Amino acid sequence: MAKQRRGRLASALAFLFIVGVAALPFAVHGQATPPWVQSSQHTSPVPISTTPPSVPLAPVDLSSIATPIQPDDPPVSPPTVDLSRQASLVAGEDLRLRTLLHHIGRQTYPAVVPVGEQFDVTSGVMRAGTPTLVLPGPANYTIADLEATGAVIPLSQGGFILVDSVLVASGATLKLSSPEVPLLLMDSSTQGFTSLVTWGGTLTLTGESAQAPLVIMGWDRTTDLPATDRGYGRPYIRAVGGRLDMKYVHASYLGFWSGRTGGVAWTGISSRASTGSAISSRFMFNTYGAFVSRARGVEFTDDLFEGNELDGLRLHRLTVSSLVSRSASARNAGNGFVVSRGATSNVLKGDLAINNRGNGFLINGLPLVNGASPSGGKAVASMGTVVEDSEAEANARTGILVEGGNGTIVLDNIVCGPVTGIAVRAGAAQTWVVGNDVRCGGRVALSIGPSVTGTTVDGNALSNARIGLLIRNSPGIRIFDNRITGVSVFGISVRGLSQGVVGNDNVISGRGFQPIDTRGGADAPMITDTNLSGWQHRSSLNFLASWRYHPLLTAWLVILAVLVVFSLGIRFRRRPARPYTYAVPWQPSAQVARGPQPAEVAAAVAYVPAPWRPATQEAREPVRRAEPAAAAKPVVLWQPFAVPAGAAAQTGRPEQANGEKDANGLPSARRRTQGRVRKNAARVEAAGGPASAPSPPAPAKPSESPFWKLLATGTWAAGQEEDRQAAKEAPT
């Protein structure tokens, strides 16, 4: 008994051991952190969430100045100008500034420098340039100095109009502020335009408060209205290698064509970067709202960029460490906010991009050139751009678009786009898409690829789109702790060459075909611990959905519909009248409708069988040749009916009389012809033809027809002989 008990106990312990070992992987898997999560936590520049988001993000809080004025109105249209003329105007401005730099070193006091004539490539004539007031340094200048030199003229209603361009030299400072300058109109006309430029100096534009700002506006003296870009340029404000500070300023109707002349611009040079700030200011109805290039540390806070002809704010190449916070860009003809190629370590935080004709946020981190640079080194892509706590809504294209770049961070943003919410593509590497709330993505809430590597998608809420997350030809994508809801086709779709796609702890709900889809030759992703409790499988499509997801079928149906419509149109189109006589059906009455005809012609017409009888042609007399003096021997070429006696025996055919039948038991040709004539006459009489119309003439005998007479008399042969004789006697 003891041995039996020990055997049973050993069996029980062995069974428990086997069960424990089998359950160990499940227990360990539920507690251990996947390796891709561990690597992301160690390398992530932002905090990594551990659970899917449950609380929606709060909307962006803007000040009264930065709030869009008319966000629901349609975006403005891009400019339509003469490209060559605009480019020549920009080149003329560059030449003017370089020319003035030679005078700055010799000047010790403010003076107006007349600018020589410039050649207008469009009109082909020399045009006088706008005089420029040069302010040398080191010195501080105000509106009083401009008025003393005649560069500005006071207005009766308050403010000033700038009639001469101003150049602030290196070391000099020009400060224009209210209440001394509540309004500054910058003159523009067909003869030229004014500008406010600092080259290495400082330009400070300041308003008194948000309720009493400094208003700077381009003004067209020709129309006495705000300046519009009509092809001959507009006023602009620019800092070249200097400092430009703006606070409580409303700058509008400025700029043309290029970025440096596009409105308000911070542009550096190779030896010196520009800097400055714009706080609580508005940039409206300019070519560019604001343009930054070769600048460092430029700050935009509580600003509004609305209704501009191109982009709202563009941080162009070699712009470093700029900060754009709590600003709005609305109704622009281009993109809302743009970070261009070559810009590095720029931060956009708490901004709003709404109702722009392009993208809400465009982060272009591609290198300036593909391959090696002119020096032989590799061109480095942009890096370190951050879009955080911002909102993109109702833009025509993508809410947030990341192209290229290294280490771009898209963090805690609210996005709603008609086509794509957030898109990362075109060679972007090590991009972090964390904690975003894509509330309406249209077709795709979040699109990764093509040609993207090492992107981390963590803690995002993706909802109300056909596809929650789309990965195309992009390896090494990490997906975890995302909440994908309200999708109608696929939750996660992996396509093409997308190796190493991993993920865990995602929640996917909706009503579609597959929660996790793989197609286009893609490897199966390693996605574990996915909550699919809210997923409803859609097994069939309605009629409209079938067309939507089968574009080839739709294309063939459209082609078939076009063919049917055109065929029906051709069928019901009114047919034109028959233009040729032989195409008109034969009518017996047509032979006598044109009056009496000669007996010979009537006999010849009656002699021809009905299918070859001419219908409505004019009767013409047969052309006869004069008979020769000595009658030639008749030449018989063809004798269709008059067969000589005895010929029947030679040909083997029985001789036929008028009333006889041939060997096959059919009526003779003459009898058939007479039968057709009688039937046609009866048909015309039954159709209501005139009772007095003469009946067709009786067919003539073969020997009496004009054609037979011509052959029998030898006239045809004689005529041929005369023609040959005349050809021999004719001179060469």
CA–CA distance, 624 with 594 (Å, rounded to integer): 23
- Residue owning tokens 């039937």: 679
Tell me how far apart the alpha carbons of residues 495 and 489 are, in angstroms, rounded to a whole number.
15
CB distance 407 to 386 below 8 Å = no
The H or E element spanning position 601 is helix 599-607
DSSP-derived secondary structure letter, 714: T
- pLDDT value for 82: 84
pTM of the model as a whole: 0.72
Q: How far apart are CA 335 and CA 343, in angstroms?
A: 17
Is 212 strand, coil or helix?
Answer: coil
pLDDT for the residue 477: 95
- Cα distance from N-terminal residue to C-terminal residue, the chain: 147
Helix (H, G, I), strand (E, B) or coil at 719: helix
Structure confidence at residue 643 (pLDDT):
44
Q: How much is the mean pLDDT over the chain?
A: 81
Q: How far apart are CA 74 and CA 333, in angstroms?
A: 10
pLDDT value of position 134: 94
Amino acid 701: pLDDT: 53
Per the DSSP assignment, residues forming a β-bridge with 170 are none
Confidence (pLDDT) at 332: 98
Q: What is the pLDDT of residue 376?
A: 56
The radius of gyration computed from the CA coordinates of the chain, to the nearest angstrom, equals 47
Give the pLDDT confidence score for residue 54 in this predicted structure.
72
pLDDT for position 693: 47
Residues of the chain with pLDDT under 50: 28-31, 121-122, 590-593, 607-608, 612-613, 615-621, 623-625, 631-632, 635-658, 690-693
Cis peptide before 450 (omega within 30 of 0): yes
Q: Output the CA torsion 139→144→148→150 (10° steps).
A: 110
Beta strands 111-113 and 132-135: pairing type?
antiparallel
Question: What tokens were used for 168?
Answer: 């602030």
pLDDT at residue number 645: 47
Give the tens place of pLDDT for each residue, 368-408.
777 666 655 556 678 899 999 999 999 999 999 999 999 99
Q: For residues 617 and 586, is the Cβ–Cβ distance under 8 A?
A: no
Distances (CA, A) of 468 to 422, 510, 663: 11, 10, 91
Q: What angle do CA 57, 63, 68 make, to 5 degrees?
A: 85
